[in-house]
Structure 1
Amino acid sequence: MSFIKLAQRFYSSAPAKTRVQLVAELRKLSNAPIIKARQALDESKGDFDAAVRWLEEDMRKSGAAKAEKIKDRATSQGLISISESGSGLVRASIIELNCESDFVSRTDEFTRLASEISEIAAQSMHQQQEASSHFVPLPVENLLQTAHKSGTVGTLITDLIARIGENISLRRAMLLSPLESAGSAFRVGSYLHQGRVGALDLISLRPLQSSLFKDDSFMGDLEKLERALAKQTAGFMTLGLDKRRSPEDELETVLYEQPFMMLGGEHASLPVRKVLDQWQEKWGLEELAVSDFARWEVGSD
């Protein structure tokens, strides 16, 4: 929410306040230094809403200047953030947002920024007919220029740079938007481990009867399976789906060959693929598979 909207909520119906109170509220809304809050009131001749707009514009300018000044500083810390579209479509995004220090990466402001960017990315559009994969890399430059209610993704980042004085960079972003597949239904499993490791698993299934999706018992079992698959992908150093990515890789880097520890119980020692086969048979499905996955870790390729 922008400073202006917050100001309207805080101030529009409030009685007249002293200059000291106005300065305090400006600082609360914007985290601006007291000198800047006083200057904003002076420049706006005591008009609170105008002072908020002045601070917002000043922060944008100072943020851009500060971002330019510190843009070469290394950003080796950060967070992975995942968002799933709430539009009824099977669509999700995963992004990596970097900063300079572990301390900043754990702040509420940085966490909210990463979450907001991943939500915007999840709504991104791409030319489905040109895609050859369920996962589509999103060009960072394009995402930075994506419009937002208070500017662009880029201005969201520079605004936070202005407030914390640390370099922040959007390293990468990817959209999960399944390719069409006749007869198959898609589901998404997602998991974040302390914001440092994130996984998205695209699960395809083909039930004999579509009414199965109205069965509460089936849906509860399916949601548990989705979560466990994503947690498994993140928890192991998963590189391949059904075979090694390279001859040097360990067998446990292959998802289907891993013991399904994250599902637990009697399945914990069985390979993931065997458990999926059993699950498919239990519910009478024609097909059950992990079609693709993405596993990201902060600082890794």
Structure 2
Amino acid sequence: MTKVAAMPAAGATRRALGGQSIRNAVRVAPCPRLSSLVASRADLHSSVALRERKPAISSIAELRKHIPGTSMLKAQEAIVSTWPSSDPSKGDDIQAALAWLEEDRAKSGLKKAQKVAGREAKEGWIAVAVLSDGAGSGTKDLQQPINPTSAEARANTPSHAATLTSAPVASIIELNCETDFVGRTDVFEKLSRDIAHSAALFPNLGGAVSAPNLAAATRLGTGFADLDTEQLLDFILMEAPDSASVDSDETASSAAAPTSPRTIRAAILDAVSRLGERIHLSRASVLILPPPSTSRDEVRVANLVGSYVHGSSATKQGSSQTSLGRVGALVLSTISHASSSANSSTALEGLEPAQIRALLRSLARQAVGFQTTSISHQPGQEADSALLRQPFSMLLPAAQLAVQDGAGEGDVEAALHAWGRQRNGKQVQVVGLRRWTLGESGPEAQA
């Protein structure tokens, strides 16, 4: 028969507990589970407070203003995701929400870019940027200079005379997308302008230009160098000063967004995220020339660049520095004294800047208007494909070519000779040309 152990007497239990009652002993004993329940209840209270709280309408509006194209739901998600869980009473953190949106769009853009990588993209724009044309000052359509000091100096130049200023700075790029609809959106147009503007500054701001391309640009003064698009994609995107003026209010407001500098590649991925199509930079070419020299011999030759695009609406042509079209051209020319002249003045002294620019634009219009493939005639080439052999049908009246002694008749080369002869024997030569048509590019550079 099993014996049951006797229960200790109440007095013995009280003595073991140091004189405390059993009830008091239970009360003072620590309870980890109870502490956990209290903490969980506090977290639950905080979570309920966060669930009951809603982002301010003004915060959502501000986010959408900073980053156009952001949906209300995405803006709300950004604000909610950046709320501090430790203090639900704090206000919306706009800066944190902006950072969250940037990161989210970068991830989304990369995923979409990988998804659409195999699609054909032949639409988009040929974008031309001319930051300085080299034609001097004195007219309202003066290209905005890079050097502010030079701008101040040119402000005091008489309006009737051109002066030798900074070397021309220009670029031409092709940015492609899948459809014409996306190509005409403000987001894509602004991106095209900004990339062209950045490409023009690429050599001047330390961008590497491959040795073969640099040699080709400087050989015989041709001036143009084709860029490695992979190198350009990793260059910082610089907003074109005039890009906001032709965009919608929604896109223009993004200029005030306090975002950190980003590369051209990142900007393209961001556009892919917003537009949902494949976007890639097909090609880019820049003008590379040495800065103007103060040498008496060298200042007698002025480098000048003219530009023109075709196939864009009037609003896109209204830009002063960047232009978008389906066909675009940059033409590099030189103006110099006649070889027999003993004149020690600069090449542009005494010339009207407006007339110079009209002549430069006429040459670019001519290159775009004809199927121009070269400057001079080459063996086996059709005559009309060489710029200098074409009839100068695109000559603008503002160039002021007086019709005398056969001037104004014949081909482009004859007209240039006549224009210079009427201006104290100046010599005008075309030394460089880039004429691109949308969709004709070769191998594509992936963004």
TM-score range with shorter-chain normalisation?
0.7 to 0.9
The reply on whether 1:201 has 2:285 as its aligned counterpart is no
Question: Which aligned pairs between 1:262-273 and structure 2 lie closer than 5 A?
Answer: 262-264=394-396, 269-273=409-413
Residue in structure 1 matching 2:103, options 57, 61, 75: 57
TM-score, normalised by the number of residues in structure 1: 0.86
Higher helix share: 1
Q: Which residue of 2 aligns with 1:230?
A: 364
* Residues 1:29 and 2:66 aligned together: yes
Distance 1:54 1:268, change over 3 A: farther
Tell me which moved more, 120-129 or 50-59.
120-129
Deviations 1:8-29 (A, max 9, x none): xxxxxxxxx9712222332333
* d(CA) in 2 for partners of 1:44, 1:227: 53
Pairing of 1:15-26 with structure 2 (within 5 A): 19-26=56-63
Amino acid in structure 1 at the alignment position of 2:423: W
Which moved further from structure 2: 162-171 or 146-155?
146-155
Tell me if structure 1 keeps the 8 A contact 2:227–2:285.
yes
Q: 1:27 to 1:286 in 2, by over 3 A?
A: closer
Q: Is the 8 A contact 1:228 1:263 kept in 2?
A: yes
Following TM superposition, by how much is the alpha carbon of 1:269 offset from its aligned partner in structure 2, in angstroms? 4.9
- 2:193 is aligned, of 93, 115, 131, to 115
- Per the alignment, residue 221 of structure 1 pairs with 355
Match of 2:114 in 1: 68
Shift of 1:218: 2.6
SS of the residue 1:238 aligns to: coil
Amino acid at match of 1:131: A
Matches within 5 A, 1:39-188: 39-45=77-83, 46-85=92-131, 86-87=145-146, 88-125=166-203, 126=208, 130-133=214-217, 134-148=223-237, 150-178=261-289, 182=298, 183-188=300-305
**Higher mean C-alpha deviation, range 261-270 or range 287-296:** 261-270
CA deviation after TM superposition for structure 1 residue 120, in Å: 0.7
Cα gap change, 1:277/1:128 in structure 2, threshold over 3 Å: closer, same or farther? Answer: farther
How far apart in 2 are the matches of 1:173 and 1:132?
Answer: 15
Q: CA deviation at 1:82?
A: 1.1
Match of 1:11 in 2: none
CA distance in 2, matches of 1:127, 1:250: 33
Cα distance in 2 for partners of 1:61, 1:71 equals 15
Aligned residues: 282
Corresponding letter in the other structure for 1:101: T
Q: 1:159 to 1:89 in 2, by over 3 A?
A: same
Secondary structure, counterpart of 2:216 in structure 1: coil
Three-state SS of the structure 1 residue aligned to 2:422 is: helix
RMSD, aligned α-carbons: 2.3
CA distance in structure 2 between the partners assigned to 1:269 and 1:103 by the alignment: 43
- Unaligned 5+ runs, structure 2: 1-53, 84-91, 132-144, 147-165, 218-222, 238-259, 292-296, 313-324, 338-342, 398-402, 442-447
1:13 is aligned to none
Larger Rg: 2
Deviation, structure 1 residue 175: 0.9
Distance 1:184 1:212 in 2: 5
What's 1:300 paired with? Answer: 440
Q: How far did residue 102 of structure 1 move?
A: 0.6
* 1:106-160 Cα shifts (integer Å, max 9, x gaps): 1221111111001111111256985232211100100001123631000010011
CA distance in 2 between partners of 1:273 and 1:295 (Å): 18
Q: Which amino acid aligns with 2:355?
A: D
Gaps of 5+ in 1: 1-16
Q: Give, as a single letter, the amino acid of the residue that structure 1 aligns with 2:175.
A: L
Q: Which moved more, 1:117-126 or 1:164-173?
A: 117-126
